[in-house]
Amino acid sequence: MTQQVKAINVTPVILCGGSGTRLWPLSRAGFPKQFICLTGQTSLFQQAAQRLAALATEEVQVAPPLVVTGEEHRFLTSEQLREMDIPLGSALLEPIGRNTAPALTLAALAAVESGQDTILAVTPADQTITDAAAFKLAMHQAIKEAEKGSITILGITPHRPETGYGYILGEHPESAMEPWNVQQFIEKPDAARAQAYLEAGHYFWNAGIFVLKASVWLKALAHFRPDILETVQQTWQARRVDAQFTRPDPALFATVAAESVDYAVMEHCPGSEFSIKMVPLEAGWNDLGAWDAVWQVLPKDAYGNASVGDVIMTDSNNNLTHATSRLVALVGVKDMVVVETPDAILVAAKDRCQDVKHIVTTLDREQRDERSLHRKVHRPWGWYDSIDEGERFKVKRIQVKPQASLSLQKHHHRAEHWVVVKGTAEITNGDKVIMLTENQSTYIPLGTVHRLANPGTIPLEIVEVQSGSYLGEDDIVRLEDSYGRGDL
């Protein structure tokens, strides 16, 4: 009789922080790059979740993922996982970004609380990999090493002298079937050293993909950075849980040292009591940190041009053009990046893509909405698109998902007129509740308590016309909300 092999328990951990400032104007704080479809039909976050879910075999049992993200992105993560039919294990909501070491510690504490010393498969949410089979093979090797108690990291086989990544110095194993020993983690090099690393053949890019037991991470952190562990444990003990959303104590979490996984633990492991191994990965990896990296992974025409959307080019070479809402035409230009959105257009030399972050800094300093929000803003109930505005008026197109509703609310400075253009609307207007269908409308006077809901099975769309002395999004007094939001 064949003896059944006990499956290894693996919990995916997706680190989903960051705002992707170098991919502005497509990536913004309210809708950052990990949630955008930059390559293919799914977002980078969805691709990461799908890759980890695909690790499941008879020998590897994969749990629903733990996602470490910010409060403002909690519904984006759950909705995008739902679209992929991947259940959410838990969303660990950081009150403030404190880098990857505290984020991973939250995930480890959540994992050990389940009573199992599960293996954590940790990955950033904003990377792309073109060879899924090679990724799965490397991850399975890393999982087997982690089961033995090692910290295992994936090292990307370099194919150019890259100065924008950290490197891992590895010791070649005696057998090709064995992982490499990690000798050293190295900071981003200059061009000459990067070329030397490439030629040496035993230096690898650090992709920030780790596989290790939850208990091993906590033990290593206690050894190298007990201050981080102690404070994160305090925030965890004072956490609040709301369904699948877990919120560490905000005041305590703000005191946690902001440190990366590498600085806090990984770079100290070689030569210590903690075994650290590396599995090489050659699978078309890219972290899509800036627009030139996006150009590298997109398909190109015979002239080296990569384009997304409605784009026409003539006598142009090696450009990236991304059109969101209208036709973009290029004539006689080369090595350029042109990104069009409904409310902003970026034109940049391709070799200056890293400097896009300076534009975002300026927008932040001037407190402009284009820093954080698109014209089309996603909400847990659907989205709204501000299609026109002028003095004392604003026009929005609003879509509400089936069975969803906005908060019960009122405004101090504006009145609203709603026209249903698709679906059925259940509208609370003062002390009345009415049902409206296509081409029907209602008026919400200033100060009147109101709510918009979709009782149907298809999306509801309305056109909202606001009028008043102040039309800012912060003029909302929420009296009741299905999504646990307070006043804006």
DSSP assignments along 452-467, one per residue: EE--SSS-EEEEEEEE
Residue 485 has pLDDT above 90, yes or no: no
Token digits of residue 85: 């039919």
Q: Percent of the chain having pLDDT more than 90?
A: 87
The pLDDT tens digits for 21-78 are 899 999 998 899 999 998 878 999 999 999 999 999 999 999 999 999 998 899 899 9
376-480 and 8-281 share a CATH fold: no
- Are residues 178 and 171 in contact, defined by beta-carbon separation less than 8 angstroms? no
Residue 2 has pLDDT above 80, yes or no: no
376-480 placed in CATH 2.130.10.10: no
For residue 418, what are the β-bridge partners? 442, 464
Omega before 65 within 30 of 0, i.e. cis: no
Alpha-carbon distance of 426 to 212, in angstroms, equals 50
In the prediction, which pLDDT does 77 show?
93
Residue 166 has pLDDT above 70, yes or no: yes
Per-residue CA distances from 161 to 126, 153, 156, 198 (Å): 22, 21, 13, 6
Q: How confident is the model at residue 317 (pLDDT cuts 50, 70, 90)?
A: very high
Residue 1 has pLDDT above 60, yes or no: no
Residue 487 has pLDDT above 70, yes or no: no
Per-residue CA distances from 320 to 293, 307, 338 (Å): 10, 6, 6
Alpha-carbon distance of 424 to 456, in angstroms, equals 6
CA 92 to chain centre: 13
Alpha-carbon distance of 63 to 76, in angstroms, equals 20
Cα–Cα–Cα angle for 262, 357, 125, rounded to 5 degrees:
45
In the prediction, which pLDDT does 4 show?
60
Q: How confident is the model at residue 114 (pLDDT cuts 50, 70, 90)?
A: confident
Sorted by where each begins, the domain ranges of the chain are: 8-281, 297-363, 376-480
In the prediction, which pLDDT does 486 show?
63
CATH number corresponding to 8-281: 3.90.550.10
Taking residues 437-451, what's their average pLDDT? 96
Taking residues 268-284, what's their average pLDDT? 94
Token digits of residue 341: 């959105």
Taking residues 115-137, what's their average pLDDT? 93
Whole-structure pTM value: 0.89
Taking residues 352-378, what's their average pLDDT? 93
Q: How confident is the model at residue 276 (pLDDT cuts 50, 70, 90)?
A: very high
Alpha-carbon distance of 103 to 124, in angstroms, equals 11
Alpha-carbon distance of 5 to 126, in angstroms, equals 34
Cα–Cα nearest to 419, from 383, 390, 395, 450:
395
Query: What is the number of helices (H) and of strands (E) in the chain?
Result: 11, 29
Residue 18 has pLDDT above 90, yes or no: no
Q: How confident is the model at residue 482 (pLDDT cuts 50, 70, 90)?
A: confident
In the prediction, which pLDDT does 206 show?
95
- Are residues 156 and 198 in contact, defined by beta-carbon separation less than 8 angstroms? no
Taking residues 176-192, what's their average pLDDT? 91
Taking residues 135-156, what's their average pLDDT? 96
Per-residue CA distances from 62 to 35, 49, 158, 238, 285 (Å): 23, 11, 29, 28, 22
Alpha-carbon distance of 320 to 290, in angstroms, equals 12
CA 340 to chain centre: 21
Token digits of residue 304: 């080296």
Per-residue CA distances from 143 to 127, 139, 212 (Å): 20, 6, 8
Least confident of 8-12, 207-211, 377-381: 377-381
